[in-house]
């Protein structure tokens, strides 16, 4: 088992996916439209979870979260910069946990379902990543005093603000990208016999 985990092919594959996560997250996989950050980085995270397992998915997700946190600290992500100023601890937890947990769960789901139906396993694990990513983001925002202070009156506008202004575009775009690209990439890898 240890030899298989540390094989040259496996380490090279994980290195390529890590490089993709870094390049996409830092340089070109994010399109910012107002407060919304459309992110392509979920694709290599879910692909790593499907190909190499849940712990690699979690590692790739954590790597993405570290880069996001660095960008937030540097003031490069508009909405996150606002919440970082008032809630740095909760913002850090959200940045580091949302893609980490998403990659971990996607890997477990894929492993659980792949022997029954590999295509269904690919779609379900690909779809779960943006769902978990967004869910942790929303829960984190609800815990932040800076976001709560944006709400008016009884706080009902807070949920509307988060869901409409930030989450809607982000979630649906990331969901579509994950559903269409990650299973296709997994099929290509299987076709060239890269993985078992």
pLDDT at 154 (0 to 100) = 52
CATH number assigned to the domain comprising residue 36: 1.10.1760.20
The answer to which of 41-45, 91-95, 151-155, 166-170 has the lowest mean pLDDT is 151-155
Q: 82: domain range?
A: 2-191
Q: Is residue 136 part of a domain?
A: yes
Is 66 within a domain?
Answer: yes
Domain count along the chain: 1
Residue 30's φ and ψ, nearest 5 degrees, are: -125, 130
Distances from the Cα of 6 to the Cα of 3, 22, 58, 61, 160, angstroms: 5, 22, 17, 20, 47
With respect to residue 35, please indicate whether it lies within any of the assigned structural domains: yes
Question: Over 60: is that where the pLDDT of 35 sits?
Answer: no
126 within some domain: yes
**Which pLDDT value is given to residue 33?**
62
**CA nearest 190: which of 99, 84, 119, 85?**
119
* Residue 47 within a domain: yes
Rounded mean pLDDT of 27-56? 78
Q: Is residue 196 part of a domain?
A: no
- pTM of the entire predicted model: 0.84
Calculate mean pLDDT across residues 97-122.
93
Residue 68 and residue 76: Cα distance in Å, rounded? 9
């Amino acid at each position: 088992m240890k030899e298989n985990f540390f094989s040259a092919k496996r380490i090279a594959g994980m290195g390529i996916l890590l490089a993709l996560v870094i390049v996409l997250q830092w340089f070109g996989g994010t399109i910012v439209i107002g407060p919304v950050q459309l992110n392509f980085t979920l694709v290599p995270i879910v692909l790593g979870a499907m190909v190499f397992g849940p712990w690699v998915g979690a590692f790739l997700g954590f790597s993405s979260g570290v880069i996001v946190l660095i960008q937030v600290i540097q003031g490069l992500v508009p909405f996150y910069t606002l919440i970082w100023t008032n809630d740095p601890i909760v913002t850090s937890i959200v940045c580091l946990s949302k893609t980490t947990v998403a990659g971990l769960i996607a890997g477990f789901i894929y492993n659980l379902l792949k022997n029954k139906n590999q295509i269904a396993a690919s779609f379900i694990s690909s779809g779960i990543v943006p769902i978990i990513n967004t869910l942790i983001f929303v829960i984190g925002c609800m815990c932040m005093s800076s976001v709560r202070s944006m709400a008016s009156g009884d706080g009902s506008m807070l949920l509307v603000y988060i869901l409409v202004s930030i989450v809607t575009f982000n979630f649906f775009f990331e969901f579509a990208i994950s559903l269409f690209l990650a299973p296709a990439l997994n099929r290509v890898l299987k076709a060239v016999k890269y993985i078992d």
